[in-house]
Structure 1
């Protein structure tokens, strides 16, 4: 039953996380990325904060501080790096490929810092998954005219998410998921709202497409994607939840095909199969493997 629930949560996470890229594509057709990110978190914080006040939840200072840092890294830092990279001309496929280094970097650091065990089969799976992502986004890899320094933005985004993941696992904050997301949305709203104000892009457009994108980004990508990310992380550990990120580029392309009619090349379709094989290798337990991850 536990394995079945893990599977359901994993599928839900991949679908919700990948929807964020579709929301970003919709929203940036109507407004700058800074406005899109600011209003995403302003609305999310208003909804979550209202519920938190209604429940009269109190968050200890330690929990508040931890989630301010986790939110700053895992939401504001990660999303700004991704959006800014695309705005500066880095192809979305190239950005996705760089961000796909996250599982390898996260697991490489989780072993010494958290004491999580990683098998040789899982290491092979991570390397195969990186190759699969490269195949999926191969058609987009050369479509870039960005300056060299712009490629540091997706690298910084990837490292921000790794840092947030490892900090959460190391410190094990006890706040509820709703309280955690409220605090993280609050710090992100403050950062992106300030950035949008400073750049004169805070005013939302009248285009209804913008608000459809905001709905997708708040409900599906944030409440669903980030919520399920932390739930999966708590249940299965860094290695298995990080492996699921290899499935987000194929899932994003599936969303794009359904909504925008985007076509996938045979090479990209082959990459989907390679990604699926990698995740199967990483997430399948062997008889010698503990049911739960070990920690320092």
Structure 2
């Protein structure tokens, strides 16, 4: 049996573990993108993830959501946070948008979430976004801009912005933002394994027609297989499950502010694995982002 101290330590470590796992998404893009069209890759990822979760559910005798409305709400969040967000990011990068710009656009999510919360909670008894949290959000976004600035200014000559890839990136931003707020508002607490499976089933159904319409075929090799394995076991079973738990446990603005830490952490991982350059601006931006996130997630004094 787990001790209360062990459970408390794990709960405190969840945000750090989530950021580390979520930041490895660039590995999937770096190794998988050249060998597979975006929606075909994602539909296989969803299918394999569903199989893994189904086996886990069967072995652990996990209970499924009990009401039709809960299935509906989970399906909506799955379409938004899996199909919409991942599909938009992958399609934008595949269509030529650089990783720096796509990270910056999607990284606007915490501010967009805070703006919505401030507007929707105005005049209610519920606490909105405090001034300290607004400061943290702005500092975090400034740090994010410092981290991705080099990629924005020194990107590949092949990187270009078009109405199509910009629409994909903005669609991903809106999907993850709306999905997070929707889940926090409508999804009742339930087992993360069955909840994730329902979400993935909905994402699979929506993404499958798009994958079948892609003219490019998947070319399986060691790089694509490795990227697929990690995307299923690490990013979906691990990262998506942690994101679900964090949203259920925490305030929306605090949870989404963790996304600010993904690009800086990705830069550090890229330096460790691929020897990519880390500049003074990257280090300063990482520190500024960490400070901003700490201001957002720190409990308000009572």
When normalised by structure 1's length, the TM-score is: 0.90
SS in 1 for 2:220: coil
Distance 1:90 1:71 in 2: 25
Write the distance in 2 (CA, Å) between the matches of 1:45 and 1:159: 25
Q: In the alignment, is residue 71 of structure 1 matched against residue 78 of structure 2?
A: yes
- Output the CA distance in 2 between the equivalents of 1:186 and 1:258: 35
Secondary structure of the corresponding residue to residue 110 of structure 1: helix
Aligned pairs, number? 287
What CA distance in whole angstroms lies between the structure 2 residues aligned with 1:68 and 1:58? Answer: 13
Query: 1:111 and 2:118 equivalent?
Result: yes
Task: Note the C-alpha offset of 1:117.
Answer: 2.6
Aligned positions of 1:114-263 closer than 5 A:
115-142=126-153, 143=155, 144-201=159-216, 204-263=218-277
Determine helix, strand or coil for the equivalent of 2:277: coil
Alpha-carbon distance in 1 for matches of 2:170, 2:220: 34
In 2, are the aligned partners of 1:24 and 1:217 still within 8 Å (CA)? no
Q: Shift of the alpha carbon at 1:109?
A: 1.4
Provide structure 1 residue ranges, at least 5 long, that are not aligned to the other structure. Answer: 289-296
Task: State the distance in 1 between where 2:205 and 2:269 align.
Answer: 30
Contact 2:189-2:248 at 8 Å conserved across structures: no
Shift of 1:263: 1.5
SS in 2 for 1:285: coil
SS at match of 2:34: coil
Would you say the 8 A contact 1:20–1:220 is kept in 2?
no
Cα contact 2:26–2:266 (8 A) shared by 1: yes
Tell me, in whole angstroms, the C-alpha distance in 2 between the residues paired with 1:217 and 1:43: 10
Match of 2:33 among 14, 28, 46: 28
Structure 2 SS opposite 1:205:
coil
Match of 1:96 among 72, 93, 103: 103
What SS does the corresponding residue of 1:253 show, helix, strand or coil? helix
Question: What is the CA RMSD across the aligned residues, in angstroms?
Answer: 2.0
Whether the aligned pair in 2 keeps the contact of 1:31 and 1:204 (CA below 8 Å) is: yes
Structure 2 residue 14 is the aligned partner of structure 1 residue 9: yes
- The equivalent of 1:43 in structure 2 is 48
Query: Is there any run of 5+ residues in structure 2 with no aligned partner, and where?
Result: none
Aligned equivalents of 1:123, 1:200: Cα separation in 2? 45
TM-score (norm. length: structure 2): 0.88
